[in-house]
Structure 1
């Protein structure tokens, strides 16, 4: 899996890392049960601070995308790909709301926003 971090991005590095791992799960390049490198190894491979990788891993663990098993490793959670719960849906609405508001401020129509979402979804599915 290729990780690309933009150091000059406004998005924190740990979120960039977490989102790329989630994208790997969405694309199918990371499957439930697959192992991820240890915090130390991943940090060394990416040339970043261990605390940054640790923060990304805990973020992903909270969202049930990974499972951290003491003395065994880090694994893609068996529920990493699952049917959204009502709590998942509410969280996604909260996270998407500012993006949709920005799109509307940029005078994108609802149809254009919907098309963007479809394009992203197709792009993620095509890479499986």
Structure 2
């Protein structure tokens, strides 16, 4: 999996890394058991500080999407967490509020949501 980050973006780099990994899992590019590059290797590849990668990996670990061990490093391992649904709904509310604040109407928002979900389903089919 190739991680693209925009070093000029307002979105923090660790968040971009986290988001790309989550998108990779959802799209089927990353499956349970797939290894990710070491924090140092990914930092070198992206030209960033390894602590930035470590922060992204730790966030993914806390979210139940990565297992990190000394032996195997960072490996995709989806573990259902009890707090996921509540946290996800809160983030969704914020994303929808941003769409409304920027003038997108309900039909447009729902069309984008359906298109995105369909794209993930097509990859898994």
TM-score under structure 1 normalisation?
A: 0.86
Question: Which deviations, in whole Å up to 9, do the C-alpha atoms of 1:67-87 show, x marking residues without a partner?
Answer: 0012321100143xx5x85x2
Question: Any residues of structure 2 matched to 1:69-84 within 5 Å, and which?
Answer: 69-79=69-79
Q: Does 1:115 align with 2:80?
A: no
Q: Which moved more, 1:118-127 or 1:2-11?
A: 118-127
Report the aligned-residue RMSD: 1.7
Question: Any residues of structure 2 matched to 1:22-61 within 5 Å, and which?
Answer: 22-61=22-61
5+ residue gaps, structure 1:
none
2:97 aligns with 101
CA separation in 1, counterparts of 2:103 and 2:72? 50
CA separation in 2, counterparts of 1:73 and 1:102? 36
CA separation in 2, counterparts of 1:111 and 1:50? 42
Q: Which stretches of structure 1, 4 residues or more, deviate above 4 A after TM superposition? A: none
1:6 aligns with 6
The count of corresponding residues between Structure 1 and Structure 2 is 124
Higher RCO structure (Cα 8 Å, ≥6 apart): 1
